[in-house]
A = this chain, B = another copy of it.
Amino acid sequence: MSSITVGILGATGYTGVELIKLLSNHPSATLSFVSSQTYSGKKMSEVFPELKYVCDDVLLSPEDAIKQTVDCVFSCLPHATSAGLCKPFIDKGIRVIDLSADFRIKDPKAYAQWYKTEHPYPQLLEKAVFGLPEHYRSAIAQASLLANPGCYSSSIMLPLIPLYKERASQLTGVIADSKSGVSGAGRSLKLSSLFVEAHENFAAYSIGRAHRHLAEIDQELSYACGKKVEITFSPHLAPINRGILSTIYINGQLSAEECLEIINRAYTNEPFIRVRDPGDLPSVRDVAYTNFCDIGVAGGGSGQPVIIVCTIDNLLKGASGQALQNMNIMFGFKETTALQ
C-alpha cells in the first residue's frame, strides 16, 4: 500500500503522545485527526507544548471524531470507553488498533470477571486479533480489529510463550515479579501518581493473582501450550517515568541453558527482540525510548529456579511502539518503519 491516513482517539494520554511522535516520522502514514473528550477544541501542541511543530492539529470531540473516515484508527482510550468509540469505525469497515484491554480477552466471562463490567460487544471478541507481532504476524496482517497487548503482559509473555510452546509440562510455579514506571498508571489524577508519593518510594500493589493483566497473560500462555496456565504476578511501582523490568522465576526442570536456547531460537530473526548472552541481564535504560524487548537468563542449577529478566519501554514495545509495529504489518509496510 502506498500511503495511509490514520486517526487517534484519546490522543492526550501518554500513549497518544508517543504514537503521534512515532507517526510524525512515518513516511507512509499521515495523521488525519486526533480526538479528546477533555481537551477538544484545543491544539494538541497547546496541551503538550513538546509537540509544537510536530502536531499542531486541533483536537476533535469524540462526536466529531467518529464522523471521520481514515484507513486506520488507533484508540488510546481507557478500557470500557474504548470499545464504544471503536465500534462505529469497525462498523464502517475501518481497521482499528485498540490499545485498551477491551478486545484482548477472548472469553466475555473472563472479561466481565477481571474488568467488572459486561463487554458491550462480545461478538467482536472472536474477531479481534491479539497483537503480539512475534507470535501472530500472519493473523495481524489480515486483522480488521487488533487488540494491542498490555505493557506488563508483553514483558512477561514475550519470554514465556516460547517456553510454554515447547516445554509446558516442565514449567511449574512460574512467578513474574514486575517493576513498572509511573507512566503505566496513565495521566489521570491519582494520589499514588503524585510526584511526592512516588519519588524516593518503591511499592508493591495488586500482587499474587489480583492484577487485570493476568487475564491476557493466562490466556496467551494457555493458548501457547494448550492447557490452562495460571502464573503468579506481582506488579511494583518504580520511581521512573517509563520502562518495565520483569524478573521471572521458573521453578521447573529446565536449565538456564535450555531456556536461553529456546528463547534464542524463537527470536533469531526478530528485529525488536534482543536476547542476551548467558548471565548477561538487561536493564531498563537499555530499552527506554526504543521498541526493543531485551531478555536475559540466569540462575538455575542445584534445584534453583531459572531466572529470566525481560525489559521493555512500557509506552513503546508495551503500547504505542507495538501498536505501530502492528500497523506496519497490517498495511504491508516494512515492520520496523518509524521504529528504529
Query: CB within 8 Å of B: which residues of A?
Result: 14, 24-25, 49-50, 52-54, 173, 175, 177, 179, 181-183, 187, 189-191, 193-205, 207-209, 230, 232, 234, 236, 238-243, 245, 247, 249, 251, 271, 274, 276, 280-290, 292, 294, 298-300, 302, 304-305, 307, 309, 340
Contact = CB atoms under 8 A, between A and B. Distances in A.
A288 B195 CA distance: 16
A50 B286 contact: yes
B208 A234 contact: no
Given A177-B249, A208-B305, A232-B249, 17 more contacts: A52-B286, A173-B251, A179-B179, A181-B196, A182-B196, A187-B196, A193-B194, A195-B199, A200-B200, A202-B283, A202-B284, A203-B281, A207-B281, A207-B298, A208-B300, A234-B247, A239-B239
A202 B238 contact: yes
A186 to B, nearest CB: 9
Given A286-B50, A294-B49, A281 B196 contact: no
Given A202-B243, A284-B200, A305 B194 contact: no
13 contacts: A14-B196, A49-B280, A52-B286, A179-B202, A189-B190, A194-B195, A195-B197, A195-B199, A201-B288, A202-B240, A204-B283, A207-B247, A249-B249
A183 B285 CA distance: 14
Contacts of A181: 196
A300 to B, nearest CB: 7
A249 to B, nearest CB: 6
Nearest to A191: B189
A53 B298 contact: no
A240 B237 CA distance: 12
A299 B232 CA distance: 9
Nearest to A231: B304
A294 to B, nearest CB: 7
Nearest to A249: B175
A221 to B, nearest CB: 15
Contact of A208 (B175, B236, B287, B307): B307
Contacts of A242: 200
Contact of A182 (B24, B195, B283): B195
A196 B194 contact: no
Contacts of A241: 195-196, 199-200
B196 A286 contact: no
Contacts of A187: 191, 194, 196
Given A53-B271, A200-B285, A232 B304 contact: yes
